[in-house]
């Protein structure tokens, strides 16, 4: 019965919609019994909390049978309600105990982070969180390659750890090199688990790197990501497929190194958040955001703030999700003008390109079209 419930529930919900009842009527009804029975607004109950570091914790979640499961490396939106306002951020889930409906997310508290602070400090066992559908292409190929490289910084280890768990169980002969930057062992998420995994799995070469700035200039202390480090940890790095996740400076460094080596096509990246906008705060640009109903939100933006932040400061509420450039819910079409992508530093000009409001800053007057 459990396996056929989502299909039957979806058909019943569709019938109610055909009869003129709202699409969430079924969810509202079965939610009175248990929020985990919902099929449109997926929800999960926190069943365990595990402290990882002084600022990070893992939440183990029990979802309902309608949850489709996750692939290692994917991301997923998590929605919480704080003071009556819904906030959504993206995290990298991983399966627990091989079950489709049991998953875990690991959250690193960010300075001033409303959602990360809530999840790490206020969320308790028994609380219910709303989940989005897993997605993203930061995943392993099928079949797994015979050898690969992973580079992580800070909380960017979370999708990599999910991949490692999957490889250990399903492709244990794959040779994996993991380079993981953190300020110290005490700040390294999954430090004990990674050490034990490295001891038990001979195919894993684990290189924990202490770096006060993760990937900052060498004079700030600790080692940095460079070709010398790569040559030492994995001499074959230019020929191997590589997955890299972490803060924006790590992404910038990795992209530059792989591009200079002529191996950019072998590097897969996922960044948690964009680099701050650092353009001219005094130069203001006019932005028109055309809505599907024909009207336009008009506001001003500088090169020193994202388009999403500028729109919100002007009293508008564009559709958005994670605010990290991951979920793509704030994607719009660039009709005219120029913007800079804050995750890559690339300038986008002209008409017809897709941009994300949360990780784009205006470089000129801009006209955008919101997705329907």
The pTM of this model reads 0.75
What percent of the chain is modeled with pLDDT above 90? 56
Pairing of strands 99-108, 347-349: unpaired
Which comes out higher in pLDDT, residue 42 or 102?
A: 102
Reported as a single tens digit per residue, the pLDDT across 155-200 is 999 999 999 999 999 999 999 999 999 999 999 999 999 999 999 9
Is the CB of residue 305 less than 8 Å from the CB of residue 277? yes
Do residues 253 and 289 share a domain? Answer: no
Instruction: Reduce the DSSP state of residue 79 to 3 states and report it.
Output: strand
Give 255-302 pLDDT, tens digit per residue: 999 999 999 999 999 865 555 566 677 789 999 999 887 788 999 999
Nearest one of 308, 348, 304 to 328, comparing CA atoms: 308
Mean pLDDT highest for which of 10-14, 20-24, 38-42, 85-89?
85-89
**78 contacts 131 by C-beta, under 8 angstroms:** yes
Q: Which residues pair with 301 in a beta bridge?
A: 285
The span from the CA of 105 to the CA of 127, in Å, is: 14
d(CA 363, CA 55): 36
Per-residue b or e along 117-147, where b marks 16 or more CB atoms closer than 10 Å to that residue's CB: bbbbeebeeeeebbbbebbbebbbeeebeeb
**Does 127 share its domain with 164?**
no
Whether the per-residue pLDDT at 12 is higher than 60: the answer is: no
Lowest mean pLDDT among 203-207, 213-217, 339-343, 359-363: 213-217
Give the count of beta carbons closer than 10 Å to the beta carbon of residue 246. 28
Nearest-5° angle of CA 141, CA 143, CA 146? Answer: 95
Do 109 and 224 have their domain in common? no
pLDDT attached to residue 218 = 42
Torsion of CA 130, 135, 141, 143, to 10 degrees: 50
Domain boundary (245, 271, 297) is at 271
One domain for residues 221 and 105 = no
Indicate whether 278 belongs to any domain.
no
Strands (E), 83-137: 85-91, 94-96, 99-108, 128-131
23 plus 70 within the same structural domain = no
Q: Is residue 177 part of a domain?
A: yes
In a domain, 139, yes or no: no
Is 56 within a domain? yes
Distance CA 337, CA 328 (A): 20
What's the CA gap between 6 and 29, in Å, rounded? 15
Residue 235: inside a domain:
yes
Q: Look up the domain containing 294 and give its range.
A: 284-370
Kindly state whether residues 288 and 267 are assigned to the same domain. no
Is the previous residue joined to 143 through a cis bond, with omega within 30 degrees of 0?
Answer: yes
For residue 223, pLDDT over 60 is answered with yes
Query: CATH number, domain at 100?
Result: 2.40.30.10
Q: Which of 131, 157, 186 is the last residue of a domain?
A: 131
35 within a domain of the structure (yes/no): no
Take residue 192 and report the two structure tokens written for it.
């004990």
The 10s digit of each residue's pLDDT in 123-162 is 999 999 999 888 888 999 999 999 999 999 999 999 999 9
Q: What mean pLDDT do residues 8-21 have? A: 55
Does the structure show a pLDDT above 70 at 31?
Answer: no
Q: Does 279 map to a domain?
A: no
Q: How many domains does the chain divide into? A: 4
d(CA 2, CA 143): 30
| 3 domain residue, yes or no | yes
State whether 117 and 224 are in the same domain.
Answer: no
* 3-class SS of residue 118: helix
């Amino acid at each position: 019965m459990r396996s056929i419930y989502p299909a039957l529930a979806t058909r019943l919900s569709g019938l109610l919609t055909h009869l003129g009842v709202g699409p969430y009527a079924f969810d509202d009804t079965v939610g009175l019994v248990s929020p985990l029975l919902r099929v449109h607004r997926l929800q999960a109950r926190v069943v365990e909390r595990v402290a990882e570091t002084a600022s990070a914790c893992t939440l183990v979640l029990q979802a309902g049978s309608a949850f489709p499961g996750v692939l290692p490396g994917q991301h997923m939106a998590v929605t919480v309600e704080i003071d009556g306002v819904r906030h959504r951020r993206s995290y990298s889930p991983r399966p627990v105990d091989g079950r489709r409906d049991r998953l875990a997310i690991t959250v690193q508290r960010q300075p001033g982070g409303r959602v990360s602070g809530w999840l790490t400090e206020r969320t308790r066992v028994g609380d219910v969180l709303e989940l989005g559908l897993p997605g993203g292409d930061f995943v392993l190929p099928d079949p797994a390659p015979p050898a690969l490289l992973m580079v992580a910084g800070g909380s960017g280890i979370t999708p990599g750890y999910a991949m490692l768990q999957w490889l250990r169980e399903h492709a244990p002969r794959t040779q994996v090199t993991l380079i993981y930057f953190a300020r110290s062992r005490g700040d390294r998420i999954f430090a004990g688990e990674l050490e034990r995994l490295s001891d038990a799995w001979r195919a894993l070469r684990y290189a924990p790197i202490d770096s006060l700035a993760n990937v900052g200039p060498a004079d700030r202390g600790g080692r940095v990501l460079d070709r010398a480090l790569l040559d030492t940890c994995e001499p074959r790095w230019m020929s191997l497929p590589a997955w890299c996740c972490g803060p924006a400076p790590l992404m910038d460094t990795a992209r530059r190194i792989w591009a200079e080596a002529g191996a950019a096509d072998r590097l897969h990246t996922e960044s948690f958040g964009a680099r701050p906008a650092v353009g001219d705060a005094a130069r203001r640009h006019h932005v028109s955001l055309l809505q599907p109903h024909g009207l336009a939100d008009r506001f001003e933006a500088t090169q020193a703030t994202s388009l999403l932040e500028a729109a919100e400061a002007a009293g508008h509420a564009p559709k958005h999700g994670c605010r990290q450039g991951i979920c793509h819910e704030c994607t719009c079409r660039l009709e005219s003008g120029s913007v800079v992508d804050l995750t890559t530093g690339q300038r986008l000009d002209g008409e017809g390109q897709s941009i994300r409001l949360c990780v784009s800053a205006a470089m000129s007057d801009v006209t955008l079209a919101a997705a329907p």
